[in-house]
Every structure is written in structure tokens, then in C-alpha cells.
Structure 1
Amino acid sequence: MTHRPPTPQFHGLRTGTAGLLLAAFAAAASAQLPPGDGPVQVRAGVVEPTPVPFNDRLLNQLRVPAGFSISVFAKDLKNVRWLAVAPNGDVYASRREQGDVLLLRDTNGDGQADEQKVVLQNAKYAHGLALRDGKLYLVTDKKLLVADVQPDGTLSPAKTLLDDLPDAGQHPNRTLAFGPDGWLYVSVGSTCNNCREPNPESATLLRMRPDGSAREVYASGLRNTIGFGWHPASGQLYGFDHGSDYQGDDEPPEELNAIHANKHYGWPFCWGERKVTTTQFNEPPHTTKADFCPTTEAPVLHYTAHAAPLGLVFYTGEQFPREFRGDAFVAFRGSWNRSQPSGYSVVRVRFDASGKPQATEDFATGWLMQQLPPGLNAPGAAPAPAEQAKARRPAQFGRLAGLAQARDGSLLLAEDQNGVIYRIRYSGR
């Protein structure tokens, strides 16, 4: 949901200026439908909360559970997206628009980065990061790169392991992680909102050896599972998938899936509890949606539609209370196509003792505001009436992205609109 898809034909669209612009593209988009498909009536909203520049006063807007605190680890980082923490506590952060990787270091232990340097450059669409055996792995839209971590935290010149990942299209933000089996897993999002992909590696989770060899499709039908990881007790792989756009305010939900080898998770033909999708595309190969959907994997939990899950991390530290160990934290980037905005928060997913997910609950909120607080204006100059109209709209100062557990067990959260990395810790007070 980071990059907007082509817009289908709408009826009953509830929008402001953005909605009028979207409607203007509707006819062109419907003209590009595959043979046999036609326009579908959908009620959807387009409400983009007004972006607000970050300042330290806005920390007072944020809410975390009793005993926790949230502070700024680093700021003014521009388009900071994904995080990886080295055993010595060094923090690596990718910046997609800058095409580089930063090294951030807290040398005096005060909870704020006081050293910052670029350690990798010229990597267009730099995104997913993983550390393993003294090496940093980086995935871009098309490439898998690896570099040795030097004793001072800098990197050797990066080596290209792969340069032929599927075309990115709508979802260029690849992520990667090492599984308990020692293999490297790479998430590849769909090229579109809803379509039959010509490349069988699109909308999948790939698996390969650390050198990029023996590449295979591990699971398919995953529209855009940016955040994924393995439960520390059960070893089960879980991932949060983005539901498609333009099917309404509340459909389809975002899905937490238990991901298994050689399974299909429904997209683009079905969603949720194996419900058939009725938007624009043809039937599955050699069958129908009605027959195919019952054979797909249903999610284990749902979350509010269009909230846009990104970073996911299982908590294994000791800085938080013991009850948090084995639970997952998920960063929701926030909606742009829902009448009542969703997301803009960090959510805790509770797991039981056997490692099965039970429920979700808010953990860190406040980036989304019902309207601009007094004295805060949106970026750029505009006539007074326009500013007054913006002040009556929802506002936000954080599009959340990557999550990582710091060496001390606190939680790091990247936000790429204002370039802030937050730190959440437990003080017990």
C-alpha cells in the first residue's frame, strides 16, 4: 500500500480533492482490464491524514502502556525504512529514497545515537536488511547484496548475489530474514493491486541459500507480506499480509498468516476466510475461484483493513516484562484509502504458551490525530482557507516502517516520513 495502484471504476466514492483525481483515472483503469472482466461497484473512502513535520513537542501525543516510555533514538534521517541490530548494539538502517544504509551508534549509553555515517551507497530501492555471520545482507527491488561487517562497523564493498528478482511494480519494498533452517527468505510483493501475475515469483515468499543459490518459491498468494518472522518457541513462520485496495472501507482485512511450505494464501482470488474476490481479474488457471478458494490457507488472525502492516518482530529480550516474551510487535504504516483512517500505530500480537496467536492490542499510538493541534501546520505554504480546511481533517506525524529489538531489549521503530527512529523501553514506573 506504499505505492498506489491504478484506480478501478468506483461508485459512491466518498472523497475530497484526492477522490476527484482518483475518479478521473477510473475510466482509463477499467479500460485496461483483462478480457472478460468488468467494472465492479465498490464503496471506498480516500482520506489521507494531513502530514505534520516532527518536533519534540509531538512526543507528548504518543501513548504506550503504563511503565513504558517512548523517546527519540535518532531523527532527521530522511526516508529511513528498515533496521538491523548487530551483536555489539550497532544499528543499521536502510533508506529507500537515498539508496543507502546508515550506521547509527549510541556511544555513551544515553539511548540516543550520537554517531551516524553512511556505510553503503548506490543501492536504488534499498530496503530489507539482515545480519548473519559477520555479514550484512541488503535486498533492493531487483538485487540481493552482501557486505562484510568490518571491526569498526563499516562495510566492505557490497557483492551482488542476485540481480534478477521479479519486477517490482506497485510493491518494490523487499524484505529478508534468515530462518531457523539457515536459509534466507525474501518477500516479493505483487506488481499490482489485483491481477494474475505473469511471473510465478511475484506475490510470494522466496527461499534460497545465503549465497542466493537454490532459489525456490516457498509460499505463494501473498500480496505483500513485508513483515515476517519465526516464533521463538514454536519455530512457526508468521507473516502479516496487506489486503488489496478498492474493495471498501472494511474489506479485505489485513491478515496474519501461519506460513507453510508450498501453500497458497489466496491472493488475488480470495481473501479472509477463503472468501471469493469479486474485483477485476479472470479465474485461476484450469479452475474457478469458487473451487480454488477452499484449497487455500486461511489467516490465523485479522486486523483492520488498509492499516498497512510493515515491520514485525518477535520479542525475545529481558528489558520488557516477562509476559511480553514470545509476543510479536507489528508496525502499521497507516491507511490512505479508508473513510476512517486506520493504522499509524504499533500493535502487540499476543501468543499463548504453545506459540499460537490469540489476539491483537494497541501498544504504541498517537501518531494519528483527529485534527491538527493548535500551532501545528502542514508542510508548505497555502492560503488561509486551505489551511483551515486541513486543520479540520485528521493529521499524522508518522508513517511507521521497520522494527528491531535493540541489544538492551528495548524496541526500535523507524518512521520514514519525518526520518525518526523511536526507542520504546520499560522503566517499571
Structure 2
Amino acid sequence: MISAEWSRLHTLALDPTCPRNRPMESEHLITFGTFAALTWSFGATLALCRIDVRRPLRPLLYAAASWAAVCGMLWLDSCVSLGRNSSVYVFQMLTGADLPHLAAAALGFCVGFGPAIWPWHRDWNQANGGMVAKLRFLILLLVHAACFVLLGVITLQEQIKPYLVDRGLRSIITSPGGTEHELGFDLEVYYECTDHPLRIAVGPDGNVYATALRGAALQRGVVVRIAPDPETGTLTETQVARNLNRPFGIAFHDGDLYVSRSGQHSRANHGTLVETNTGAVTLLRDLDGDGIMDYYHDVLSDLPGAQGPDPLHQNNGITFGADGSLYVTVGSHGDRIPAVGPYDGTIIRSRPDGSQTTVFARGFRNPFSVAIGPNGELFCTDNDASDRRNGDELNHVLEGEHYGFPYADGRAEHPSGAVPPLFTVKDGTLQGIAFATSSQLPDDCRNCLYVVNYPNGEIYRIRLTAENGSYRAESSLFARVPQALDIAVDANGTFYISCFESKKIYRLTFRG
């Protein structure tokens, strides 16, 4: 996970789980604002029924201001939702009845209630006056403030929790026994980006590279390099590639940069809309040595990309094996239907030039990240269906195996022949993944997978023990970083964590 427009669109682009697992975003703000404006305008309009014809201007202006607030909310929601009606939208959200939305509605009512009853309360005080009126006003004020605080905490619970736990940007390391203690790590804001960082990688030059989204609909992708200025040493951001739509994967191999990207396009053919394959993995090179990529070539193309009925999934994370093999995650385009194309819900493997492309494994819903782990074996995260909430997965990916989707996902019982996940979480969305091997890390942090749970900012340390041809996963909470999305680690054991909403990249370093 947030301006309202990019908050809504990044939610679509990243496809997190259902709204009850997300922090306060544009949906909660629209619910809150609409109820506040409607409550205020209702009270102000009723006040017109008892207007004093000798002094009509004040109540008329008061009512006009409340109507303007309602119109403002309608206009704001039309900007956010490209024309969707605010009242219809709020009704749809409340039918879901998740606690933060109900609390946001009640909070809006609480805020709007004050100005709504103010004309009545003022007239009552003028008519009655005295200590009783003042005491009545004080009690009403205290009750109103208590409701405001309580409902605000409920609405913002997921938003403020990472900051409370983070304790002033210091990482919280939790042992398997559950006691909190610091293991000598320092957490700091490494860089505040111009655009919203999505995926990150450490380049062969030791600098951090990030794909980012920009533009009105956050569809135009760029790649930026964050490196110290040669003269001042201050970190600077350089755009090294652009016009890469939805760049959901980044990796380096033999000094070359590769980006997994996608689009969405359909053609009309005699009354039928036909989805077009828009997915690609693009090789980028800097031929003239100026630090800017000037050579683009699709080593893989004709991947499904973003298509219906669920156009939020596409080709995502990429990585390279020790033998140079390129692995690409490809999402499914339906939620309860078999694959309709050869690459739906798969991880594919090819040579770096795109030759010898084969399906390595099947049965994924929306595999987001992929990494090489112990013994050169492959691991990936996979997002579950939002309404089923069986849990997002961490999978040990073996060649030729099937991982259950669409027949099962997460904690659900997998059919015979399908490989169950190593690790699942029910709340949140497992996204970025990295494998740390640096000898500069402490023993209990070395040779572990690190998996990001978005949007609550939890980063899990996964220790793997070989067992029956696969692994047994032992998870512990390693750190919390506000709204963490992706993670990368360099040869020295320094972690870099991208946070989409805040446009920040954090650095987590072991002091030794």
C-alpha cells in the first residue's frame, strides 16, 4: 500500500487481498468524507425549516456550505473512480461490512454530527442558558471526542500499527520464542524517490536499481539508479530507462539489465473482443557508456500480459539461476477456471536470449516474486484469491510439478499430486523475496529466505531444513518496515526495502 488517485490504482496494480487487510486508503477516505458531508448537510437542511425570516442569510449560507461539501465529495470520487457515483460506491463498500469501513462511516457521521446540530444547540442555549446548558454541552463534547478517538483508531488500525511497532524507524527483531530484542540491525530511510518504487535489485556496480510507476494512471514504468554523486557523495536518482509499462520484475545477468513488463490491449473482431498478448521480458544495455540504457530488446515476448477476466495479473518477478537460466513468473487470468493459455499460472524457463523456452512448473494463481535459494533451487511467492482468504503462499518450485491452482490454494487441502506450500499467511499479501548468504550476517540470519508481507510491512525470516526431497520452513518475524513491498540484499548482507506508497527505499544494515 496512499493522493487518492494513485492509491486506488496502485491497489489494482498490485492486487492485494480484500479490503479488510489493507490500511486506510482512498476507499476509507471516500466513505468517511461522504458520511461527514451528508450528515452535516442533512442537519443544515433541516435547520432551514425553522429559519428566521428576519435573518435568513446565516442559515442559508450554512446550508449552502454543507451542500458544497457534498458536491465536493461527489467531484472527488468522480476523479478517483473515473465517474463512479459516490453514494453507490459507499453502499457497495458497506455491504462488505468490514470493520474499518464501518468505523470510517461512523467516524464521518461523528464529524458531521457536530456542525449538523450546532444551529439547534445554539438556539437551545440561548433559550435556556445557565449552568445546566453548559454542563450538557461539556458532556456532549466529551462523548463526541471519545467516539471520534475510538472510531479513528479502528479506522486507522492497520495504518498506524507499523509505525507504532517500528518505534522511530528502528527495526524490531522478534525471536521464535516471541520476545522482542534487537540483533544489532540499523534501519534507515536510504532514499526518497521521485516516483513510486515497485521492484528493486542491486546492480553489479553495487548501486540500487528500482522499477517505478508514474503517469496519471501509474502505468508508465521507469527504471532508476540510486547512486552517490561522484563529487558530493550525496545519493542521487538517475532515470536509466523509461516507457516500460507495468515493470513488475527486474534482475541482472552478466552485467545486463532485464525487466519483466506488460500492458493490456484487446482487439475487436466481428463482434468479439480478443485479448492481445502484451507481456515481455526486455534486455536493456548502455552502449555508449553514459549510464543511460539506449538498447532495448525483448528476449521473451508474446507472453499473456494483463488479460481478462482478471486483468490484474501478468508476468511478474524474474531471476537467473547459476547456469544462466532465466525464470519468469506468469499469473493466471481467471480465479476458478482452468488455464486458457499455455503460460497461464506458470513459471517459465529459458536461456538469457529467450531460446529454449519451456514451462518449468504450473498451478499458480499470481506468482509475484521468485528467487534462487539454497542449493540453487527455486522459490516463489504466490497470491491467493481475495475472497477465499486461504492464505498467500511461499513455494519451493520443482520442475514439472503442479502447485494446486485453481483447485486449491494457501491452507486449503491440495488434491493428490499437487505440491502444498512451505509457508502461508492469511492476512496480507506475500510479495518480495530474497535469499541472503553473506558471511557478514549473524549465523541465524544467514542462508535464509526473507519474504515481505504487504501492506502491513512485516518481513519474515524463513529458515529452511531439508526434508523428504523438499524443505521444512520455520518462520519468524524479522522486521517491520512501513508498507514494505519488495526486498533485495547485496553481497555484504545489507537489505534494501521498497515502500510503494511513501516513495521510500529503506536500508537495513547489520552493525556487527
After TM superposition, is the score higher than 0.5?
Answer: yes
Q: CA deviation at 1:173?
A: 5.7
2:504 is aligned to 420
2:244 is aligned to 123
Are 1:92 and 2:206 matched, yes or no? Answer: no
Instruction: Note closer, same or farther for the CA distance 1:253–1:157 as it changes in structure 2 (3 Å cut).
Output: same
Q: Equivalents in 2 of 1:360, 1:20: separation in Å?
A: 42
2:168 to 34, 39, 60: 60
1:392 is aligned to none
1:189 to 331, 335, 350: 331
**Cα contact 1:88–1:407 (8 A) shared by 2:** no
Q: Equivalents in 2 of 1:102, 1:402: separation in Å?
A: 15
**Cα contact 1:91–1:105 (8 A) shared by 2:** yes
Q: CA deviation at 1:122?
A: 0.9
Are 1:145 and 2:229 matched, yes or no? Answer: no
Q: Equivalents in 2 of 1:123, 1:223: separation in Å?
A: 24
1:101 is aligned to 223
Spell out, residue by residue over 1:102-158, the C-alpha distance to the aligned partner (whole angstroms, 9 max, x if none): 011135899x96121101011111221111112101110212111224655432321
Q: Equivalents in 2 of 1:216, 1:162: separation in Å?
A: 12
1:31 is aligned to none
Q: Equivalents in 2 of 1:2, 1:193: separation in Å?
A: 18
1:243 is aligned to 384
Spell out, residue by residue over 1:160-208, the C-alpha distance to the aligned partner (whole angstroms, 9 max, x if none): 2233111311223611101223210000112244333312311111111
Q: CA deviation at 1:83?
A: 1.2
**Cα contact 2:281–2:299 (8 A) shared by 1:** yes
Are 1:346 and 2:430 matched, yes or no? Answer: no
Spell out, residue by residue over 1:28-61, the C-alpha distance to the aligned partner (whole angstroms, 9 max, x if none): xxxxxxxxxxxxxxx9847587568x99xx8705
Spell out, residue by residue over 1:68-111, the C-alpha distance to the aligned partner (whole angstroms, 9 max, x if none): 1100111033211111212321221101334110011135899x
Greater mean alpha carbon deviation, residues 402-411 or residues 259-268: 402-411
Q: Equivalents in 2 of 1:114, 1:307: separation in Å?
A: 32
Spell out, residue by residue over 1:290-328, the C-alpha distance to the aligned partner (whole angstroms, 9 max, x if none): xxx2121111222x2142111100101233213211101
Q: Equivalents in 2 of 1:326, 1:266: separation in Å?
A: 28
Instruction: Note closer, same or farther for the CA distance 1:297–1:158 as it changes in structure 2 (3 Å cut).
Output: same
**What letter matches 1:208 in structure 2?**
S
Q: CA deviation at 1:227?
A: 1.9
Spell out, residue by residue over 1:205-238, the C-alpha distance to the aligned partner (whole angstroms, 9 max, x if none): 1111111122221111111221222223x22212
Q: CA deviation at 1:423?
A: 0.1
2:299 is aligned to 161
Q: Equivalents in 2 of 1:417, 1:59: separation in Å?
A: 19
Q: Secondary structure at the match of 2:405?
A: coil
Instruction: Note closer, same or farther for the CA distance 1:219–1:350 as it changes in structure 2 (3 Å cut).
Output: same
Instruction: Note closer, same or farther for the CA distance 1:255–1:165 as it changes in structure 2 (3 Å cut).
Output: same
**Residues 26-37 of structure 1 correspond to what in structure 2 (within 5 A)?**
none
Spell out, residue by residue over 1:8-47, the C-alpha distance to the aligned partner (whole angstroms, 9 max, x if none): 9xxxxxx9749984874999xxxxxxxxxxxxxxx98475
Max radius of gyration: which structure? 2
**Cα contact 1:255–1:272 (8 A) shared by 2:** yes
Q: CA deviation at 1:366?
A: 5.6
1:205 to 347, 352, 355: 347
**What letter matches 1:163 in structure 2?**
S
Q: Secondary structure at the match of 1:323?
A: helix
Q: Secondary structure at the match of 1:3?
A: helix
**Structure 2: gaps spanning 5 or more residues:** 1-9, 19-26, 33-86, 102-154, 174-181, 263-278
Structure number with greater CO (CA < 8 Å, separation at least 6) is 1
Q: CA deviation at 1:405?
A: 1.1
Spell out, residue by residue over 1:215-271, the C-alpha distance to the aligned partner (whole angstroms, 9 max, x if none): 221111111221222223x22212121111112xxx302222111111111111112
**Residues 29-428 of structure 1 correspond to what in structure 2 (within 5 A)?**
45=98, 47=100, 60=168, 62-65=170-173, 66=182, 67-96=184-213, 97=218, 98-107=220-229, 114-141=235-262, 142-149=279-286, 151=289, 153-168=291-306, 169-172=311-314, 174-232=316-374, 234-247=375-388, 251-272=389-410, 275=413, 293-302=415-424, 304-334=425-455, 343-352=456-465, 356-365=471-480, 367=482, 398=483, 400-428=484-512
Give me the TM-score of the superposition, normalised by structure 2.
0.60
- State how many pairs are aligned: 344
Q: Equivalents in 2 of 1:158, 1:426: separation in Å?
A: 37
Bigger helix share: 2
Instruction: Note closer, same or farther for the CA distance 1:2–1:221 as it changes in structure 2 (3 Å cut).
Output: farther
1:3 is aligned to 12
Q: Equivalents in 1 of 2:457, 2:362: separation in Å?
A: 27
Q: Equivalents in 1 of 2:97, 2:440: separation in Å?
A: 42
Instruction: Note closer, same or farther for the CA distance 1:64–1:263 as it changes in structure 2 (3 Å cut).
Output: same
**What letter matches 1:262 in structure 2?**
G
**Cα contact 2:303–2:315 (8 A) shared by 1:** no
Instruction: Note closer, same or farther for the CA distance 1:162–1:46 as it changes in structure 2 (3 Å cut).
Output: farther
**Cα contact 1:83–1:402 (8 A) shared by 2:** yes
Instruction: Note closer, same or farther for the CA distance 1:353–1:163 as it changes in structure 2 (3 Å cut).
Output: closer
Q: Secondary structure at the match of 2:416?
A: helix
**Structure 1: gaps spanning 5 or more residues:** 9-14, 28-42, 277-292, 335-342, 368-397
Which segments of structure 1 move beyond 6 Å, counting only runs of 4 or more? none
- RMSD of aligned residue pairs (Cα, Å): 3.6
